[in-house]
Each structure stands twice: as C-alpha cells, then as structure tokens.
Amino acid sequence: MVEVAHEVEGPSGAPALVLSNSLGTTRGLWDPQVDALIARHRVVRYDHRGHGRSPVPPGPYSIAELGRDVLRMLDTLDLPSVSFCGTSLGGMVGMWLASHASDRIESLIVLCSAAHLPPPDAWYARAALVRAEGTAAVAEAVAARWFTEAFRRDHPEVVDRHVDGLRATDAEGYAACCEAIGDMDLREDLGRIVAPTLVIAGRDDPATTVTDASVIAERVSGARLTVVDAAHLANVERADLVTDVMTEHLLMTEHSR
C-alpha cells in the first residue's frame, strides 16, 4: 500500500465523502464540485499513486492496489466508512472498494467509468508509448475524448489546463495505471455491491460509453443511471448538473440510513 497525497475540507463531524480522480488528472479535477460539497460533507480528495503529489512506485499497478491505497488513507484519517465518488479510473477503484470492502462504503457514485475496458493490448500499447515518449505523446488524443468538440471550442482555457496537467503526470505512474485498467475485469464483482449506487454517464463519452455505464447499473442491485450531455470529464463539462445529481444522491442515501 502507498500513502497517497490527500486533502480534507469541510466541517468536522460531517458525513465523509471521498472524491477519486481519473487517469491523467489530479484531485484538482474536483474543483468545480468541492465548494458545493463541503457545505454538507467532510470532503477527502486524493491523488492516485503515480499521479499528482502521490508516490510513484514502479508498475504495473492493479485496481486492487489502488483500492488498498484508499483503505490505508481511510485508516490514517480514522474514517471507518465513507461515501465514495470516482470518475473513470476513480470509479473503477470505487467499484472495487464497494465489492471488496463493503463495510467501508456507505454510498457510491460511479462517473464516466466501466467495469471492463478491453482489449488489454491497447492499454499495454499506450503504457509502452508513454514510457518511451512521455504523457505528451497521448495528450491531444486524450483531450479529444475528455471533452466534446463544442466544449473544446468554447472553453479552450479549461481544456488547456487539463491537458497541461496530463502532460505533467509522471510517465511511469500513468503507464502503470494504464496496465491496471488493461488487466481489470470487475463485472463479476458488481453483484456484491450493496451500497446505494448512482451511475452517471456522458452521452458523448467515447472512452467509457453509456453502454458501459448500463452494464454497471444493471448488475448493481438498485443502482440508478443518469446520462448527461458531455464527454468523458463530465464533472468539468457539465459541472453544475453533475454537482446537483451527486448532491441529490448523497442526500437521499443519508436520509435513508
């Protein structure tokens, strides 16, 4: 397990919420949501191993290792259970946690993610490219999946900020997380998830499609699926809408406990 870099914001004693970022981003991905969320939650944001300010152990990594990093963080913070929201890679970690450490996850939000993303060879090839040439080699192609064409045209400064963050991501950390995704198959774990679950998909997301989200929603008992008009980084492209949907789910599950 790795001691991941993290920050905690919001009222002491409020319900705890962990926010987990995507491949090639940092905890800053959640800047559009955090002000609204800390009004009612103790929000914990962190960087996956290999990303941001977290350590970069040599790869390959696994989704299970990324999940155990979170459990170590929760133990360090003395948080026996939390709500968890993850986008893309973060959503994969959330599904692993909810199925393998169900007592630690009170509610789950899976945003623009998938339980299985074949073919693995494509992920291994991306990892090899990044190790050889750095994350800049994939930055433009990734940006085209992160945001719709209209958003890239109308908000170039937002796109540039996230692409610059991708270029700054450690090559080994990014590549090792690519290998984790390539080896991942959480489909058989989904039926073990008991936490109230919301799945959010981007209608125009070419990376993790509405079909991928539907598989999760169908296999997790009682899960709800919401589709928003966005590409892969939906919490940035449709920030207010995603914040509202997240908040509604969190309030609903807290009132039901």
Domains of the chain, start order: 6-115+186-256 (3.40.50.1820)
* Buried b or exposed e, range 199-208, using 16+ CB within 10 angstroms: bbbbebbebb
Spatial separation of the C-alpha atoms in residues 108 and 116, rounded to whole Å: 18
Q: What is the mean pLDDT of residues 181-198?
A: 97
- The token pair at 167 is 């270029």
Q: What's residue 191's pLDDT? A: 96
Is residue 72's pLDDT more than 90? yes
How far apart CA 127 and CA 53 sit, in angstroms, is 20
Cα dihedral across residues 131, 137, 139, 142: positive or negative: negative
Which alpha helices (DSSP H) does the chain contain, by range? Answer: 31-37, 63-76, 89-100, 120-133, 139-146, 149-154, 156-167, 171-182, 210-219, 234-237, 239-256
pLDDT in tens, 214-242: 999 999 999 999 999 999 999 999 999 99
Confidence at 1, pLDDT banded by 50, 70, 90: confident
Q: Is the Cβ–Cβ distance between 93 and 239 less than 8 Å? A: no
Structure tokens at 206: 């070419």
pLDDT band at 256 (very low <50, low <70, confident <90, very high): low
Q: What is the pTM of this model?
A: 0.96
Residue 89 gets the label, from left (phi > 0), alpha (psi -120 to 50) or beta, of alpha
What mean pLDDT is predicted for residues 23-52? Answer: 97
pLDDT digits (tens, 9 = 90+) for 95-126: 999 999 999 999 999 999 999 999 999 999 99
> What is the pLDDT averaged over residues 169-175?
97
> Does 254 score more than 80 pLDDT?
no
Q: pLDDT value at position 228?
A: 98
